[in-house]
Chain A
Amino acid sequence: MSENGAEKKTAKTQRTAVALRKQLGGAPHEVLKRNKEQNRLRRTIVDAMRQGSATVPEIAETTKLPSHQVLWHLMAMKKYGEVVEGDQQGDYFKYVLVQKQEKAK
């Protein structure tokens, strides 16, 4: 559990996650599969949004993804600052991609 301060500092380079992954012989297959599928959905949604702001039904139409999945991913992206809410159009709000300032480290 908690070590002393000095040892903790080195944790940044120690990467216990990587050590555990090695010990287990990799991350669980199911988790990897799920994550791959999520990334695919996310990319499809992001691609559809590059043309400009869009509502959930519009994105669902373009991507052929179920609208509830589009909403779920959009809201996750909104929560973590990748998407913002735009104007309302009829019964739906539009969503806009946030331009990335810098590429992820």
Chain B
Amino acid sequence: MAAARPVQIRLRGVVKSFGEKRVLAGLDLDVHEGESLVVIGGSGTGKSVLLKHMIGLLAPDAGTVEVDGVQLSELDYRAITTFRRRFGMAFQEGALFDSMTVWENVAFPLRRAGWPRDRIAARVAECLELVHLDGAERKLPAQLSGGMRRRVGFARAIALEPRILLFDEPTTGLDPVIKAVIDGVIIDLRRSLGSTTVTISHDMKSTFRIADRVGMLHEGKIIAIGTPDEIRSCPDGRVQQFIEGRAEGPLSD
């Protein structure tokens, strides 16, 4: 079903090294329009690095990244600024503007897009309510807990209802109830807007809840990708060890 949809993000042979350390080693990946892809993988395997390549924050040493048929490396600094309007991204650590209040953080993309005041106010209130943070509008990021910051970052990413959403561990460190709420928001965004979402997750329960497809990143490549059922029954020992969370197995060697 998902395979029939056109490809929105296409990565081919992406290589990225930091100094001597090779993080991505010729990675190929297609993300289809309107699908929800979840990327899993061990800590430090390069999931965040992969996500930053999709939006052009990092440029590959070799290989290509194509979004909606446009090769990101061919855009100059002005073109890519405009191009990014179709994206929303929530960072792993929130990356909130620490000189602005929660309200101003969520309003930032709306203001930059030139929305009128009353619509901004309504939309900010709506987004904060979605992540259960109504009442925290006037707080500064330094006054928030880690989980709250992450949720503000999430609200800021979805405020403009972009067509492509990248979430870097949106639910890590949240309590189970809020986790389910955020998962619900991600599912709704895809249903009501048809947005494409790429989510990084360590949590198998929410992975299988939100994913149309799951891909596993290991040693710089996607070693397995498929529907949740395909992944559950994947014969690869590394995938099985990861989704079952066992200490012994091929990943531990």
Q: A and B bound?
A: no
